[in-house]
Amino acid sequence: MKRYPSTTALRAFEAISRLGSVSAAAAELNLTRSAVSHQLNMLEEVVGFPLTQRDGRGLALTQKGKAYALETKKALTILLEASHVSDGEEVTGSLTISCAPGLANYWLCHKIAAFTKKYPKLSLHILSPSFPGDISNEDVDLFITYGNGSWPEKYVKQLMTIRLFPVCSPHFFHQQGGLGHPSNLIKMPLLHLMSNTDWRVWLAANGVSNTQLEGGVVFSDANFVQSAAIAGQGIAIGDNMVSGDALAKGLLIRPFEKSIESPRAYYLVTSPEKVERKEVFAFIEWLEGLIADAQSRYDRQ
């Protein structure tokens, strides 16, 4: 399956290659050093070879990195000239986005005003899929979906690596008198999304394996899981995107620091034809900037 590098990652690499350091690139792009480093790492994963190498205390391009830097500059120049999205006034028409409900409710809907302010003449429609992972709606221009990245013949771009960890309300935590060792969790009300797989993987990573997870509630939607956790109905597996706002507001807490990387992630999915449209490109570029900022804040936690 072909994976396309993100424009944010390409811009970060172009700035590094031109300015000679991550710090200088971060200052120019108004991002943190960790965010720029993260974008560089993601780009190296996509291209399949190292783009930079240590040079004393600094950073230098590899031979392949030098060649790729030249092509990156050409590609960014073409995109800039072709898209004409630097001025929001030029982006008109309509754009329909399908977003995973949990991410839409707890993250995207809290940020979307910044996009409509930047592109006031663009009519934006946001809807939820008929079922988790559905990308069949032909009226949708761009899908923000959760999965394993396997959508043949589609334009697919990973947005962010997801970290999973237990979350519960402060009231539930104090009501239990604390949670103690992770092994105690199997006796408590666990909240599941689709299945108990995430709980099994997290418990195994914390030395609690071969457990029979009986009872609990299995929900079909991340909205339901997080709402139940906030209401003190049990303990859920949260993540750094969907749970971020609730954690920041104190509606949820992390009773254990251990997190695991999810085998799934959030992806942008569309057709190769639709990704060339300027309104789609504008939304992708805006969203990648948000993701880079969110990732840098999470890295500092």
pLDDT in tens, 44-60: 998 999 999 887 777 88
Least confident range of 80-84, 114-118, 178-182, 246-250: 80-84
Query: What's the pLDDT at 127?
Result: 95
pLDDT of residue 140: 96
Retrieve residue 63's tokens. Answer: 């031979």
Average pLDDT over residues 21-34: 81
Burial of 20 by CB count in 10 Å (0-12 exposed, 13-18 middle, 19+ buried)?
middle
The Cα–Cα gap between 145 and 127 comes to 12
Examine the pLDDT at 236 and tell me if it is beyond 90: yes
List the structure tokens of 13. Answer: 């690499």
Domain 162-262 has CATH 3.40.50.720: no
| Mean pLDDT (whole number) for 226-251 | 93
Q: Which comes out higher in pLDDT, residue 184 or 213?
A: 184
Cα 238-32-85 angle, rounded to 5 deg: 90
At 296, the pLDDT band (50, 70, 90 cuts) reads: low
| Contact indicator for 246, 231 with CB cutoff of 8 Å | no
pLDDT score of 156 more than 90? no
**pLDDT for the residue 88:** 47
Amino acid 32: pLDDT? 75
Sheet strands (E) in 128-282 = 142-147, 155-167, 190-193, 217-219, 235-239, 260-270
How close are the terminal C-alpha atoms of the chain, in Å?
Answer: 33
pLDDT the model gives residue 169: 97
Only one residue has tokens 């190292």, namely: 50
Residue with tokens 């570029």: 285
| The pLDDT of residue 160 | 78
The amino acid at residue 134 is D
Position 265 confidence tier, pLDDT thresholds 50, 70, 90 = confident
Residue 128 pLDDT level (bands cut at 50, 70, 90): very high
Residue 225 has pLDDT above 60, yes or no: yes
pLDDT above 70: percentage of residues in the chain: 92
pLDDT of 126 strictly over 70: yes
Distance CA 139, CA 155 (A): 16
> pLDDT confidence of 161, banded at 50, 70, 90?
confident
In degrees rounded to 5, what are phi and psi of residue 44? -65, -35
pLDDT, mean of residues 244-249? 90
All structural domains of the chain with their residue ranges? 1-83, 162-262
Q: Is 42 exposed, middle or buried (0-12, 13-18, 19+ CB in 10 A)?
A: buried
The model's confidence at residue 119, banded by pLDDT at 50, 70 and 90, is very high
Query: Span 1-83: which CATH code?
Result: 1.10.10.10
pTM over 0.75: no
Give the number of C-alpha atoms closer than 13 A to the C-alpha of residue 26, restricted to the C-beta side. Answer: 16
Q: What is the mean pLDDT of residues 198-207?
A: 92
Q: What is the mean pLDDT of the chain?
A: 87
Phi, psi dihedrals of residue 140, rounded to the nearest 5°:
-90, 135
**At residue 1, does pLDDT exceed 80?**
no
Residue 166 predicted with pLDDT over 90: yes
Token reading at 278: 């300027």
Q: What is the mean pLDDT of residues 170-176?
A: 95
Whether 90 shows a pLDDT value over 80: the answer reads no
Question: Are the beta carbons of 150 and 113 closer than 8 angstroms?
Answer: no
